[in-house]
Amino acid sequence: MVDTSDKTKKYDVEDAEYNFTEMVKQIKPKTFKLNDGQEIGITKNHIGFVADEIESVIPKKNENIVNKNDEGIRMLNYVKMNSILWGAVREQQTKIEHLEACMFEMMEEIKELKGKKKPKAKAKAEN
């Protein structure tokens, strides 16, 4: 599936400022069987999400992830869900880089401390 994404087709473009990692933590994949399949004897297992649950996690002003059809059935736009995952990956990458920098500083401090220690005197061997 392809979405129109050209800059010339959009307006009011702003960075999405959400806690994407927290959103991802609240959204749990589910396994399920479809009612329509059961009616015709198909009991195939699926993996995915329940749109009702996603709707409660996604900020209300984002109207393009969970939609309702004419019958009021919720539908989930899996392509748009990628934006949430992308945001979470960016947040996690920032955290990883911060932790790496902290770890590097700590390793440097440990090296300095080891260099300041006086070496232990060696016991003289008796002849």
**Has this prediction a pTM greater than 0.75?**
no
- The answer to the question of residue 124 being in a domain is no
Structure tokens at 14: 């702003």
DSSP 37-104: HHHTT----EEE--HHHHHHHS-TT--SSEEE-TT--EEE-HHHHHHHHHHHHHHHHHHHHHHHHHHH
CB within 8 Å of 58: residues ≥ 6 apart: 23, 65, 66, 84
- The yes-or-no verdict on residue 41 having pLDDT over 80 is no
State residue 32 phi and psi, 5-degree precision.
-165, 165
Residues 42-63: tens digit of each pLDDT: 788 999 999 999 999 998 888 8
Residues 1-35: tens digit of each pLDDT: 777 889 999 999 999 999 999 999 999 999 999 88
Residues 77-94: tens digit of each pLDDT: 999 999 999 999 999 999
Tell me which residue range forms the domain holding 65. Answer: 16-90
- The answer to the question of residue 58 being in a domain is yes
- The answer to the question of residue 116 being in a domain is no
How many domains would you assign to the chain? 1
